[in-house]
Structure 1
Amino acid sequence: MKQPVLQTIIPEGKKVYFSSDNHLGAPTAEASKPRELKFVAWLNEIEKDAAAIFLLGDLFDFWFEYKTVVPKGFVRALGKLADLRDKGIPIYFFVGNHDLWMQDYFKTELDIPVYHNPQVFEFNQKRFFIGHGDGLGPGDKGYKRMKKVFKSGVFQWLFRWVHPDIGVRVAQYLSVKNKLISGDDDHIFLGEDKEWLAAYAKRKLETAHYDYFIFGHRHLPMHIKVGENSSYHNLGDWIIHYTYGVFDGTSFTLKEYSN
């Protein structure tokens, strides 16, 4: 694991926000529009005190970057993210299993760095281990094999030759219907001793200390103590729960956006 990519002190009155699993575009663009508007309303609300914003993947239910084409839609969400960056608020994006084909569009157009693997950040001397969460921990072997195929440069090169009107439609269908793409994840709480991201966090603590493990992917807001001074938090989603995480400079909490 790399050294922390960011070490900083959160200014008085400022907070760090975390969000995951919007799946914009699912099951249809029309059906996801109200959720997109709600997400933008949340971004508008936290703008006043956000020291940084972390988006932990699956912002889109499908995303692929051709050389000159990206999936249409999501203008309000993308526009608001651009506005926040233009105002100097740092935003960090971690790809999920539904938008793992993200390349440099966010970096080039929005000045938002994109991470394909978990990273360590440090705020107010609290160490955060942050990632989407897919493919980590025990089990889910089918998805892990599928992910290796999807991340293959050869596979992406071949897909890029498919006309976007065809490729995007097929990929959107599979994104909803194929369990291998979604991962072995039924969104049911398995119990603290069986949650595989909690097991992963405990294993990471064997080699280094982290105060907080922050993941998405499971679509369930949860808090599990994984060490004497360490906890695992799952952010939930913006489909059913509309939950997000907040670090106020001292402690981390999960909250529900009810506007």
Structure 2
Amino acid sequence: MTKNIYFASDFHLGSPNYAESRKREDRIVAWLNFIEPTCSELYLMGDIFDFWFEYEKVIPKGFVRFQGKLAAMADAGIKIYFFKGNHDMWVRNYFTEEIGMEIISDELIIEKNDKKFYLHHGDGLGLGDRKYKFLRKIFRSPLCQWLFARLHPNLGIGIAAAWSGKSKKRAGADAVFFGENYEWLAVYSREILKKEHFDYFIYGHRHLPMDINLGNGSRYVNIGEWINYNSYGVFDGVNLELKYFKEN
């Protein structure tokens, strides 16, 4: 049986409320069951959780079906990579110790079957958005994480949930396609291509599934999100395809 590589992003588990998140979790687990027989590697490319912070002895409650499924897949020999997104940048070592996932902080470059991939969640790349880039550096700093860890989990997670809600209200442009020449991650990818060739640039973060031809055999693929699209990428060893999961 052919073994594929799968890419998914922006599950935002925990948002907007428990009931909706649980429905989405069930759908994601159904997808994982669907891909498991043909999966050799799974790349979870950021914002898997709407918020995540690991205290020394405490993690956010919930998502046990999702985590249990990932553990079973890892135990079966499937390699799983977890990219830090802007909503779950405070992942530390819990998933590595309990599941065996490899944590990726920024970009990851891989080569598969003579195809070269540039992988990144997508936040903080390209020109503009200086305010977020500044905040990203602060939030990712060890000092900021140490200070946040001093807060009681009830308070800390409550503050994070409020911040996440505000960020979603500012994200109304997610469904708007700006055009191939103005999508900032496509522009960023073209700048990289001036220095180094990649067959595929794969990102999440943007929330809008898209597949853009960058020329010279290179493509930009945004794998979308699971609130509206249930979209993902699959590489079968020859071609990369953007797909959409539909439950039976």
Task: Give the TM-score of the pair, scaled to structure 1.
Answer: 0.92
Report the counterpart of residue 230 of structure 2 in structure 1.
Answer: 242
Aligned counterpart for 1:76 among listed residues 47, 59, 65 = 65
Aligned counterpart for 1:141 among listed residues 130, 134, 139 = 130
**Code of the aligned partner of 1:31:** E
Report the counterpart of residue 162 of structure 2 in structure 1.
Answer: 173
**Code of the aligned partner of 1:232:** Y
- Whether the 8 Å CA contact 2:174–2:207 is kept in 1: the answer is no
- Whether the 8 Å CA contact 1:15–1:248 is kept in 2: the answer is yes
Q: Relative to 1, partners in 2 of residues 1:142 and 1:179: Cα closer, same or farther, differing over 3 Å?
A: farther
- Residues in 2 aligned to 1:92 and 1:152: alpha-carbon distance in whole angstroms: 22
What does 1:171-250 align with in structure 2 at a 5 Å threshold?
171-178=160-167, 186-250=174-238
Q: Relative to 1, partners in 2 of residues 1:91 and 1:185: Cα closer, same or farther, differing over 3 Å?
A: farther
Matching of residue 254 in structure 1 with residue 242 in structure 2: yes
Aligned counterpart for 1:64 among listed residues 53, 58, 62 = 53
Q: What 5-or-longer segments of structure 1 have no aligned partner?
A: 1-11
Q: CA deviation at 1:170?
A: 1.1
Q: CA deviation at 1:140?
A: 1.6
- Whether the 8 Å CA contact 1:137–1:196 is kept in 2: the answer is yes
**Code of the aligned partner of 2:44:** L
Farther off after superposition, 242-251 or 146-155? 146-155
Q: CA deviation at 1:179?
A: 6.1
CA deviation digits over 1:64-123, x for unaligned, max 9? 011111100000000000000000011111111000011111111110000001110111
- Residues in 1 aligned to 2:29 and 2:130: alpha-carbon distance in whole angstroms: 35
Matching of residue 121 in structure 1 with residue 110 in structure 2: yes
- Residues in 2 aligned to 1:150 and 1:184: alpha-carbon distance in whole angstroms: 23
- Whether the 8 Å CA contact 1:127–1:212 is kept in 2: the answer is yes
What does 1:23-102 align with in structure 2 at a 5 Å threshold?
23-102=12-91
Q: CA deviation at 1:62?
A: 0.2
**Code of the aligned partner of 2:179:** G
Q: Relative to 1, partners in 2 of residues 1:235 and 1:199: Cα closer, same or farther, differing over 3 Å?
A: same
**Code of the aligned partner of 1:147:** R
What percentage of aligned pairs have identical amino acids?
49
* Residue aligned with 2:111, SS: strand
- Whether the 8 Å CA contact 1:140–1:183 is kept in 2: the answer is no
* Residue aligned with 2:37, SS: coil
Moved >2 Å (runs of 4+)? 182-187
Aligned Cα root-mean-square deviation (Å): 1.5
Q: CA deviation at 1:183?
A: 7.3
- Residues in 2 aligned to 1:185 and 1:104: alpha-carbon distance in whole angstroms: 34
Q: Relative to 1, partners in 2 of residues 1:238 and 1:130: Cα closer, same or farther, differing over 3 Å?
A: same
- Residues in 1 aligned to 2:112 and 2:160: alpha-carbon distance in whole angstroms: 38
- Whether the 8 Å CA contact 1:202–1:227 is kept in 2: the answer is no
Q: Would you tell me which structure has more helix in proportion to its own residues?
A: 2
